[in-house]
């Protein structure tokens, strides 16, 4: 299988922040979700992939080519939505299309018009009067309308209502029906990734804390809730982020099946990606 993105040992230091030996693979035909708390290094990773920053160490390849050596036009292949991306406020959507038609060799005006219709975006309204969801839809319409093979999306669903979010997630799922395409998207909304992502990388304080196929992660991790006396009998090496409260204890279990074999009397429930994030942060703070 070809990889759309291969990041190996990526390092970048900004004062007291360090992106530390990040490995990340985005296979063709897949959606990879990048999750992590504020300041974990998600945008820094995306910027390194776009060759917008110079890493202190490591390599980044897009479709097999090192981005540091790629021609500037390698971005023709990439549809980008960055969180700070904004359009010039006095413009209207058709004017944005005309400007971008000069910027991309593969710009497809019919495709762009199709997305304006599909997303219900007005042609006669200035962008300054667009809602947040409308701006994001316009951003995604422009990213898709030069026929990229790879979408790099920084927080594409943040601040949007569930209906719009689902509409966009469906669009992303449609996009990767073509096996030659791939999506890397960062998000705080773990439920969106549960719906759309095939693989998940969880960055915590600049490092990869958890990584894998989403279904395998959700299958393997578990959530233990038990009495304080029960927790005392459990091997701490099997647990992440154990916390004792007034009414009992809870912890993340890395290998649900192995845990059940060892402690059949204890109940381990399925987890969400959010559980994995929250307990991992707790475990790190303990």
Query: How far apart are CB 241 and ligand ATP at their closest, in Å?
Result: 20
Question: Please, are residues 157 and 188 in contact by the beta-carbon 8 Å criterion?
Answer: no
Beta bridge partners of 269: 223
Candidates 90, 54, 91; CA nearest to 69 is 54
Binder of ligand ATP out of 6, 32, 44, 150 (CB under 6 A): 44
Residue (71 or 84) nearer to ligand ATP, CB: 84
39 near ligand ATP (CB under 6 A)? yes
Whole-angstrom distance, CA of residue 144 vs CA of residue 146: 6
Residue (18 or 243) nearer to ligand ATP, CB: 18
| Cα angle 97, 99, 101; round to 5 | 65
Compose the 9-38 pattern: x for residues touching ligand ATP by CB under 6 A, - for all others.
-----x--x------------------x-x
What residues from 165 to 184 belong to the interface with ligand ATP (CB under 6 A)? none
Residue (54 or 105) nearer to ligand ATP, CB: 54
Residues 6+ apart with CB under 8 A from 97: 107, 109, 112, 113, 142, 145
43 near ligand ATP (CB under 6 A)? yes
Query: How far apart are CB 46 and ligand ATP at their closest, in Å?
Result: 8
Whole-angstrom distance, CA of residue 45 vs CA of residue 41: 6
Backbone angles phi, psi at 54, to 5 degrees: -95, 115
Q: Which two tokens stand for residue 249?
A: 């204890």
Binder of ligand ATP out of 28, 42, 214, 223 (CB under 6 A): 42
Report the interhelical angle of 109-118 vs 93-103 (nearest 10°).
150
Residues 6+ apart with CB under 8 A from 132: 159, 160
236 near ligand ATP (CB under 6 A)? no
Query: How far apart are CB 249 and ligand ATP at their closest, in Å?
Result: 30
Query: How far apart are CB 43 and ligand ATP at their closest, in Å?
Result: 3
Q: At which residue do the structure tokens 């026929």 appear? A: 147
Query: How far apart are CB 79 and ligand ATP at their closest, in Å?
Result: 19
Q: Which two tokens stand for residue 140?
A: 């995604």
Binder of ligand ATP out of 7, 31, 41, 63 (CB under 6 A): 41
Compose the 183-212 pattern: x for residues touching ligand ATP by CB under 6 A, - for all others.
------------------------------
Q: At which residue do the structure tokens 């992660």 appear? A: 217
- Binding residues for ligand ATP (CB under 6 A): 14, 17, 36, 38-44
């Amino acid at each position: 299988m070809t990889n759309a993105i291969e990041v190996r040992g990526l390092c970048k230091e900004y004062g007291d922040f360090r992106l530390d030996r990040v490995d990340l693979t985005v296979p063709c035909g897949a959606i990879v979700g990048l999750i992590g708390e504020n300041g974990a290094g998600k945008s820094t990773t995306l910027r390194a992939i776009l060759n917008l920053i110079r890493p202190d160490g490591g390599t980044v390849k897009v479709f097999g080519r090192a981005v540091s050596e790629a021609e500037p036009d390698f971005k023709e292949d990439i549809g980008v939505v960055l969180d700070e991306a904004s359009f010039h406020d006095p413009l209207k959507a058709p004017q944005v299309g005309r400007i971008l038609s000069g910027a991309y060799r593969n710009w497809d005006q019919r495709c762009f018009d199709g997305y304006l219709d599909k997303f219900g975006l007005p042609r006669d309204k200035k962008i300054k009067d667009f809602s947040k969801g409308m701006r994001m839809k316009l951003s995604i319409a422009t990213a898709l309308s030069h026929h990229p093979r790879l979408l790099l999306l920084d927080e594409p669903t943040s601040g949007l209502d569930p209906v719009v979010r689902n509409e966009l997630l469906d669009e992303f799922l449609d996009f990767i029906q073509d096996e030659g395409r791939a999506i890397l998207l960062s998000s705080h909304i773990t439920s969106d990734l549960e719906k759309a992502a095939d693989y998940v990388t969880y960055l915590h304080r600049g490092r990869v804390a958890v990584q894998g196929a989403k279904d395998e992660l959700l299958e393997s991790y578990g959530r233990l809730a038990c009495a304080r006396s029960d927790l005392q009998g459990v091997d701490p090496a099997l647990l992440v982020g154990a916390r004792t409260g007034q009414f009992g204890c809870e912890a993340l279990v890395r290998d649900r099946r192995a845990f059940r074999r060892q402690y059949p009397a204890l109940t381990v429930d399925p987890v969400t990606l959010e559980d994995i994030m929250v307990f991992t942060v707790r475990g790190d703070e303990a």
